[in-house]
Amino acid sequence: MSAIARHGSTAASVLVNAWIGSASRRAAAALILAAIALLPLSAAGTFTAGFTLTVSQVLAAGAVAVGAPAALRGWLRLPRPLLLAASTLMLVYVAGALFGLDATIPGQTVRSGHRDLVYVVDTLVGLGIVGILADIADRSILRRAGVAFVIAGFLAALYAVYQWFAQHYGWPLADVNNALNSDGFSTGHVHQGSGLLGWERVRGTFKEPLYLGSFLVITLPFFAALFRGPPRPHRAALILATGVVLTALLLTVSTLAWGAGLLALLAVGCMWALSRGHVRASAAIATACAVAAVAGPVLFVGPSALSTLTGRTSSALQTTTTNRLDAWDRALERWQSRPVFGYGPGQSAVQLAYRPDTLPGNSEPTVYGSAQGLWAASLIDVGLVGVFSWIALLAALFAFAVQTAFARSDRFILAGTAAAGVAVIIGELSADRFDIRVWIALGLMLAAASHSGRPARQQEDHQAQ
């Protein structure tokens, strides 16, 4: 028995050492890189396990399971305010799951039950991804992640350009998505509205044009970050790929994605100019950024002025705005009943559930509603406590990155900040929780800032571990 105990103890020790050692860090990094590369699958490569999952979500969850010690190390290495903000947010969601409601949609108890657990795990995975990337934080991983984003963006854009012609001329594979559409009750092709030349807008392998457009904008900063490094033949390929991405972005005719990209570009450009001491340039860019920040909400409320520019009708643009504003109004109404702690993680979709009235006989079952943005969804889910926790975490993350960028203007910090800025803006205005690409973008921003903020000797010691 003693021999068995000794062998068991040795085996357990080997497993624990392997889990917390460099092998687990490398495995976690590989899984994250694979998750980035497969982001274009999105709504085209989903499967259902009670809830709809994408391949990238599964890979990210695997990375956190494999690299849990690295995730913890990464957060412990960061400044105390960042760790406190992340811990508070996680505690709020766990408490919300324990003490909140667990309401379900009649007829959909399987899909609507235990949403609290899904949202808690989703938040844990997101924070784990950020921690792992902060722990790794070396130049080679940043470059590989940038390359993965470039490849993913190019592939997504290439299919979107093909889709633009395929939809118009009836070519095969014009629609390859198998996930539920944004309406929540249909799959496959749904007309996305007319755009350039009166042809249908493209959504690629994403649920709708906004998500495709935002993903393409997220990848563009990494194209710029990698442009200085490769030899001339590779630069030519990078320029060609950038052209394809910009073309696909134009074909989405997503004004929200365009606006978020422009605002992030101006903000990062101002950071770069200030860090380099270009006072006049930074003043000019800051002025343009302020104008864009003021003009954005005005155009959002009255988007008809964009009709000529986009090729979309005024009514189509106004419908998009009205739907989002109505969703926010309903979210505020529901929030007022439980303003401090909310209904529980994931309850926003249940509390805003509706019966689609566009179908003959109104025979479809009640389906999830959408708060159209993390800020509104978190109000219902975890109340004011949760909203302030989100604000504290995001403010701490971006403050750390901006502070580091001023100390050392690094192209990967700027690229990560721009990508994360776009991802967060879109997440706050469209989705009910942060998509995995938002967490990856935040993680890369933090990783670049952590890498640049470390003394050279500390970086060498860290890479040698």
Mean pLDDT, rounded, of the chain: 85
DSSP letter assigned to residue 391: H
Examine residue 317 and state whether it is found in any structural domain, yes or no: yes
Q: What is the pLDDT of residue 10?
A: 53
Q: Which of 116, 114, 113, 111 is nearest to 93 (CA)?
A: 116
Cβ neighbourhood burial of 301 (10 Å; 0-12, 13-18, 19+): exposed
Interatomic CA distance for residues 220 and 203, integer angstroms:
17
Examine residue 52 and state whether it is found in any structural domain, yes or no: no
DSSP letter assigned to residue 180: B
Examine residue 118 and state whether it is found in any structural domain, yes or no: yes
Q: What is the pLDDT of residue 226?
A: 87
Q: What is the pLDDT of residue 133?
A: 94
Q: How many helices (H) and strands (E) does the chain have?
A: 19, 2
Domain of residue 220, residue span: 68-464
Q: What is the pLDDT of residue 58?
A: 94
Token digits for 430?
A: 């469209």
Please, are residues 233 and 204 in contact by the beta-carbon 8 Å criterion?
no
Q: What is the pLDDT of residue 285?
A: 87
Summarised one tens digit per residue, pLDDT across range 13-23 is: 444 455 666 88
Examine residue 37 and state whether it is found in any structural domain, yes or no: no
Q: Which of 162, 245, 167 is nearest to 200 (CA)?
A: 167
Beta strands 47-49; 51-53: pairing state: antiparallel
Examine residue 142 and state whether it is found in any structural domain, yes or no: yes
Q: What is the pLDDT of residue 457?
A: 34
Q: What is the pLDDT of residue 222?
A: 94
Interatomic CA distance for residues 194 and 196, integer angstroms:
7
- Regions of the chain with pLDDT less than 70: 1-21, 50, 106-113, 229-232, 301-305, 308-309, 355-366, 452-465
Interatomic CA distance for residues 335 and 365, integer angstroms:
24
Summarised one tens digit per residue, pLDDT across range 263-303 is: 888 888 888 888 788 888 888 888 988 888 888 777 776 66
What is the domain count for the chain? 1
Interatomic CA distance for residues 269 and 264, integer angstroms:
8
Q: What is the pLDDT of residue 48?
A: 78
Examine residue 24 and state whether it is found in any structural domain, yes or no: no
Examine residue 13 and state whether it is found in any structural domain, yes or no: no
- Alpha-carbon torsion, ordered 173, 193, 154, 36, to 10 deg: -90
Summarised one tens digit per residue, pLDDT across range 296-343 is: 777 776 666 677 667 777 787 777 888 888 999 999 999 999 999 999
Examine residue 14 and state whether it is found in any structural domain, yes or no: no
